[in-house]
Amino acid sequence: MAVFTLHPSGTSYGTAYTDIGRLTRSLNVPGASRPAGTWIGTWGSGVRVRTQTTTDSGTLTMLPAGVEVLVGCQKRGQQVSQPPYVNDWWAQLLQYGDYMTNIYLSVPENQAAWGTDLLNERGDRRAARRHPQGRR
């Protein structure tokens, strides 16, 4: 499938990427199933997607500014500081299988509203609720 869009001159890559992602996710494809998780916007440029929940772990990729990511679960890891924000929660990104710090999620208080089935930091399934994930 090919998708072509027209964006005004000067549209950032992150905005165009997110717009096309939203468009393709809205298509009803017979026989296809929608992935689990929640699409959440990000902020910051060059946000690293890491193999573990620590800044010492390997970098899989870097995200352009303002893209949406598919978050499946979150777990505690190394505390990260991006003044004035401090957070030790990391989001697992389903499209990569690896992690980014929750500091760069574009949600109030770095908290995501989850579905009814969420893996917590120990890998146990439990009912959804909001986590105290730091300050924002």
pLDDT tens-digit map of 99-120:
999 999 988 665 554 433 334 4
In eight-state DSSP terms, residue 64 is P
Give the H/E segment covering residue 17. helix 13-26
Sheet containing 47-50: order of strands:
38-41, 68-82, 85-93, 98-101, 47-50, 59-63
CA end-to-end distance (rounded Å), the chain: 39
Say what the pTM is: 0.69
List, for residues 116-132, the tens digit of each pLDDT value.
Answer: 333 443 344 333 333 33
Q: Give the pLDDT mean for 71-81.
A: 92
Q: What pLDDT, in 10s, does the model give residues 28-56?
A: 778 877 778 888 999 988 999 999 999 99
Q: Are strands 125-126 and 59-63 parallel, antiparallel or unpaired?
A: unpaired
The mean pLDDT value for 64-68 works out to: 88
